[in-house]
Amino acid sequence: MLQISRRTVRQNWALYVGCFVAVAVGVVLLGLAANAIAAGNAYANHHPGGFVFTVTGGDMAEHTERYIPEEQSPEGLQALLGLVSGICGFMTIFVVASTFAFVVAARRRELGLLRLVGATPRQVRRMILGEALTVAVAAAFAGSLLAYALTPPMLELAAGTEFSPMKLDPPSQWIPLSIASGIGVTVALLGAWVSSRRAAKVAPIDALRESATEPPRLTVSRVIFGVLGLCGAATMIAFIKPDNFEVAVTMAILVPIVFVIGMVALAPVFVPVIARLWGLVLRRSAGVPGYLADRNVWASPRRTGSLAAPILAICAIAGTLSVMMSFVGDLTYAQGLQASRPSAAVD
């Protein structure tokens, strides 16, 4: 089945571009985070820093602990990248899920044909998962290469900022990038899981049904997700007044994610409209190809929507990040104000 999966992906690659981008971006960020952690650990092993103190009394036996003050630790960078890749992983699942929902819905007839010539439901499911695997492995590879190239400049940039006070050396990247790739592939398979189950339910007789046209623009679940997402984001912004850093950070992460889930669910409705407006410009300047692109975008709203999904997801991540950065900036400023107070003494 894997061979069929590979062929299908190669022939209809345009359908899977969104998926590829989402997984690749996810792996890049995960890879950077994993590399930062590895670099930080390597640094900590060579430069213990801080000071060791002995704990006596209490419930535990006498032991030593090491205290590392914040200005000697690259934890800020690790936490930031970890957070971003967590969000990204979540987004990737969502983008992959929406792509494969479309891939399965648009290929009812072909899946029916497979069942007809003797594929069992399980084989059909494996084929869909195989497509996800094919895309994800290629994307993980591309993402790893990019992360490999980006790690030294990232560490360079972070050095001396509040994220990482010291200059970290790029670590051996094999293990961190393998872990990042593994997670990327797993996430993609999780995203395709529901659709693969739906694909397995296609009946052989569907191969004979006449309509092989695009499925409807909106399904009930899309409307539910869309309305919940948009209303949820709006409610959070309107009613929650963050009064401490934790709540603010949680909101900064949640609001863009929830908002984008709503947007992706409703993408088949509004993306073609936006694309249409752009298409009006394109038609003037790009002649017949522009005209055809315009008509295609309009005729297959779900494909258009699934292509736009990763871009929406990337926007959400960028949004989360910029909000986070401004919070961190404010916090640093606030801490600066507090610096005049005497700090706790350690024996």
Partner 1 sequence: METSTPAVVLDRLTKTYRSGAGKVRALRDVTYAFSRGSFTAVMGASGSGKSTLLQCAAGLDRPSSGRVLLGDTDLGTLNPVRLTRLRRARMGFVFQAYNLLPALSAYENVALPLRLAGAKPQRKEIGDVLHRVGLGDMGRRRPAELSGGQQQRVAVARALATRPEVLFADEPTGALDTGTSRQILGLLQDAKGHAGQTVVMVTHDPMAAAYADVVVFLEDGQIAGTLRGASAGEIAAAMSELEN
Q: In this structure, what token pair is assigned to residue 308?
A: 């736009």
Q: In this structure, what token pair is assigned to residue 206?
A: 């569907």
Nearest CB to partner 1, comparing residues 113 and 137: 113
CA 3 → CA 21, 208, 225, 306, 342, distances in Å? 22, 25, 34, 25, 67
Nearest CB to partner 1, comparing residues 30 and 199: 199
**Does residue 4 bind partner 1 (CB under 8 A)?**
yes
**Does residue 326 bind partner 1 (CB under 8 A)?**
no
Interface mask toward partner 1 for 65-104; x: CB under 8 A = ----------------------------------------
The least distance separating partner 1 from the CB of residue 202, rounded to whole angstroms, comes to 12
Question: Across-strand partners of 53?
Answer: 65
CA distance 275 to 98: 19
**Does residue 178 bind partner 1 (CB under 8 A)?**
no
Residues 45-64, interacting with partner 1 (CB under 8 A): none
125 Cβ partners below 8 Å, 6+ apart? 196, 197, 199, 200
Residue 177: half-sphere exposure toward Cβ, Cα within 13 Å: 21
Tell me the three state secondary structure of residue 173.
Answer: coil
CA distance 81 to 88: 10
Quickly list DSSP for 41-76.
Answer: HHHHHH---SEEEEE-SSSSPSEEEEE--GGG-THH
Nearest CB to partner 1, comparing residues 6 and 276: 6
Interface mask toward partner 1 for 208-227; x: CB under 8 A = x---x---------------
Q: Minimal CA–CA distance to 80: which of 36, 42, 49?
A: 36
Q: Alpha helices of the chain — where are they, by DSSP H?
A: 2-11, 13-46, 75-106, 108-116, 121-158, 174-200, 220-239, 245-299, 301-338
CA distance 269 to 228: 16
**Does residue 11 bind partner 1 (CB under 8 A)?**
yes
CA distance 329 to 243: 16
The least distance separating partner 1 from the CB of residue 213, rounded to whole angstroms, comes to 13
Among 19, 81, 119, 129, binds partner 1 (CB under 8 A): 119
> Where does this chain touch partner 1 (CB under 8 A) — which range of 48-56, 198-206, 257-265, 289-297?
198-206
Among 49, 82, 86, 109, binds partner 1 (CB under 8 A): 109
Nearest CB to partner 1, comparing residues 109 and 283: 109
> Where does this chain touch partner 1 (CB under 8 A) — which range of 56-64, 81-89, 205-213, 282-290?
205-213
> Where does this chain touch partner 1 (CB under 8 A) — which range of 10-18, 49-57, 153-161, 242-250?
10-18
> Where does this chain touch partner 1 (CB under 8 A) — which range of 7-15, 232-240, 279-287, 339-347?
7-15
> Where does this chain touch partner 1 (CB under 8 A) — which range of 34-42, 74-82, 106-114, 280-288?
106-114
> Where does this chain touch partner 1 (CB under 8 A) — which range of 31-39, 89-97, 200-208, 214-222?
200-208
**Does residue 167 bind partner 1 (CB under 8 A)?**
no
**Does residue 175 bind partner 1 (CB under 8 A)?**
no
315 Cβ partners below 8 Å, 6+ apart? 256, 260
Q: How many whole angstroms from its chain centre is CA 306?
A: 14
**Does residue 207 bind partner 1 (CB under 8 A)?**
yes
Nearest CB to partner 1, comparing residues 115 and 303: 115
CA distance 92 to 24: 9
**Does residue 118 bind partner 1 (CB under 8 A)?**
yes
User: Residues interacting with partner 1, by CB under 8 A?
Assistant: 4, 7-8, 10-12, 109-110, 113-121, 123, 203-205, 207-208, 212
